[in-house]
Amino acid sequence: MELKDKIVLVTGASSGIGQAVAIRFAKEGADVIIHFRKNEEGAKETQKLVGEFGVRSSVVKADLSVEKDVQDMFKQISAEYETLDILINNAASPTEFVPYPSSTQKDLLDLFNVNIVNAMLCSKYAMEIMKAQKSGKILNTTSIKGWEHGGSSVGYAVSKAAMNSFTRTLAKSVAPDIQVNAVAPGYVKTRVYDNQPEEKIKNWLNGTLLKRWVTLEEVAEAFIFLAKNDAMTGQILYIDGGFTLK
């Protein structure tokens, strides 16, 4: 798929990976819809950076763990844009609110709402548009933690393993018109690591074969690859410095 003039919705584009992905799609000439929840300043910064490539862009606000917000966001998008070519389900909480097993049922449900139900809801509404136009791509941000096991982050790992299953299972059910794939980043230096001790970070990075952070640009490039490639569906692309090769 040629990305120029395609319409792309990136959820969680107000910072980190989502912001880098939004900018990279703009560089390809795609029109970008920038979603945020709380960080309006970050979303506006993304829009400014996207604007440097001369593409059309909009900013949309929604708490994606609330279906009404998701519905309203898609209404707004449908009113403004004639189609939607690519949905990138990137918004999530990169950490657990209350680490398992201290978490209550509510803590766990809140986490799953933000990390997996949000993507299922966004995909549901995006698919209504994509099915009518008989084409579309859904790209999910999953994680190395969704692989065989997720280290100490039990709740987060479960949510990302669910994202992996969602990617593969949905790919089967919406083929051939819609392709569904995912990017699984390794350690990417976003705000989630801001207050982590140096020693911990060193240990995490030493657990990868390449002994370094994966860059935002390297992750964004993987989304571009999946968006352009028309032969892949149901795949999870690990951009992880060799973390999963053990």
Ligand X SMILES: NC(=O)c1ccc[n+]([C@@H]2O[C@H](COP(=O)([O-])OP(=O)(O)OC[C@H]3O[C@@H](n4cnc5c(N)ncnc54)[C@H](OP(=O)(O)O)[C@@H]3O)[C@@H](O)[C@H]2O)c1
Q: Which residues are identified as catalytic?
A: 156
CB distance 121 to 64 below 8 Å: yes
Sole window of 45-53, 97-105, 180-188, 221-229 interacting with ligand X (rule: CB under 6 A): 180-188
User: Order of strands, edge to edge, in the sheet holding 136-141?
Assistant: 57-61, 31-36, 7-10, 86-89, 136-141, 178-185, 236-239
Work out which of 14, 57, 153, 233 binds ligand X, going by CB under 6 A.
14
Closest CB 51 distance from ligand X, rounded Å: 18
Out of 46, 57, 141, 167, the residue judged to bind ligand X by CB under 6 A: 141
Task: Check: CB of residue 62 under 8 Å from CB of residue 39.
Answer: no
Backbone angles phi, psi at 234, to 5 degrees: 75, 20
Residues in binding contact with ligand X, number by CB under 6 A: 27
Nearer of residues 29 and 124 to ligand X, judged by Cβ: 124
Among 23, 88, 188, 205, binds ligand X (CB under 6 A): 188
Stretch that binds ligand X, among 10-18, 70-78, 201-209, 222-230 (CB under 6 A): 10-18
Q: Of residues 6, 7, 8, 16, which one binds ligand X by CB under 6 A?
A: 16
For residues 181, 186, 188, 192, the Cα torsion angle rounded to the nearest 10 degrees is: 100
- Within positions 45 to 74, which residues make up the interface with ligand X, using CB under 6 A? 63-65
Applying CB under 6 A, which of residues 49, 120, 154, 192 lies at the interface with ligand X?
192
- Which residues here bind ligand X, judged by CB under 6 A? 12, 14-18, 36-39, 63-65, 90-94, 114, 141, 143, 185, 187-188, 190-192
